Amino acid sequence: LLEHFSALGGQLGQLVNGLDQSASGLHKVADGLGTAETYLADLSSAPEKDMAGWHMPKAARESKEFAQAKDAYMSKDRRIVTFDVILDENPYSISALGRVDDIHAAAERAVKGTKWEDATIAVGGVTSTYADLQAISNADYKRTAVLILIGIAIVLAALLRSLIMPLYLILSLVLTYYTSMAVTELIFVNGLGYAGLNWAVSFFAFVLLLALGIDYSIFLMDRFNEYRGRPVKEAMLSAMGHMGTVIISAAVILGGTFAAMYPSGVLSLLQIATIVLTGLLLYALVVLPLFVPVMVRTFGRANWWPFRQPVSEVDGLEQQKIS
């Protein structure tokens, strides 16, 4: 009996402790209900315009902890507030730059229907800065590309005295550029696993590739114009025979110059170098030896339209026989 009564005494002690804990828990529940009652009363007395967001009790707003948060994220006059948004990806990546507009739209939706609806919302930070640069670069790229193509066409028309040759020469440059971009994206995106090409690459690569490509075109077509008195086929073959070595040599030298960017390790420079090298190879080995001669042979003497078209020696002999 003594042994069992001793065990019963221990169990009664545990019961007493449990009852004490229950009492303490009930006190906490009571305090929580009181806090909830205070919150609901404060919420019911809040103006209707403040109900669009979430309500913060007056006691929490006037606490020391919240005052420290206000000093850290608000201006002294409490008219400017800052929210930190930390992305879960590379802040310089293309996908991160695309999130800037989403963040701005989310902030506008959050203040809609509140007393801060007319507030000015702005997004800052490194990612936002690069997103703005990307937008400016895209706008400048379109305008600059049009101006470059128009300027090249005018210079070629004046130099070659033709409106036909500038058309297919510019077409060859554009085709070379987009092919080089596709090859570079295939290497860096599909092959190396990058999210995409750097936003500044297309602009600088376009300027560099067109500037280099049009030089090679002028080398070849200006020599072709020197033989305009000959048959078109013979004139083209003679021009290629004299200028082929010059163009290949220039392409090799420039290719080596841009290949020097690879040891830098800078991704944008690597991509620009790849685009330019691919474009140089295409233009020196495919476009000028194949595409341009085919176009020249197709148009014949119409290559110099609408200016005075040269009469070849063969045509002159035929005219003499007819006369």
In eight-state DSSP terms, residue 300 is: G
Cα radius of gyration (the chain): 38
- Do 236 and 224 touch, CB atoms closer than 8 A? yes
| Tens place of pLDDT per residue across the chain (323 aa) | 667 666 666 666 676 677 677 777 777 777 777 666 666 666 666 665 555 556 677 777 778 888 888 888 888 888 888 888 888 888 877 788 888 889 988 988 888 888 888 888 998 888 888 888 878 877 777 888 888 889 888 988 888 888 888 898 999 999 999 999 999 999 988 888 887 787 778 888 888 888 888 888 888 888 888 888 788 888 888 888 888 788 888 888 888 888 888 888 888 888 989 999 999 888 888 888 888 888 888 888 888 887 765 555 445 444 444 44
Closest CA relative to residue 245, chosen from 213, 291, 284: 284
Percent helix, strand and coil across the chain, each rounded to 5?
75, 0, 25
The residues spanned by each domain of the chain are: 44-123, 128-309
Q: Is residue 228 exposed (0-12), middle (13-18) or buried (19+ Cβ within 10 Å)?
A: middle
Pick the CATH number of 128-309 from 3.30.70.2740, 3.40.1160.10, 3.40.190.10, 1.20.1640.10: 1.20.1640.10
Q: What is the pLDDT of residue 183?
A: 92
- Do 230 and 312 touch, CB atoms closer than 8 A? yes
How far apart (Å, rounded) are the C-alpha atoms in residues 166 and 149?
10
- Do 160 and 221 touch, CB atoms closer than 8 A? yes
Structure tokens at 289: 């030896």
Q: What is the pLDDT of residue 13?
A: 67
- Calculate the CA 235 to chain-centre distance: 44
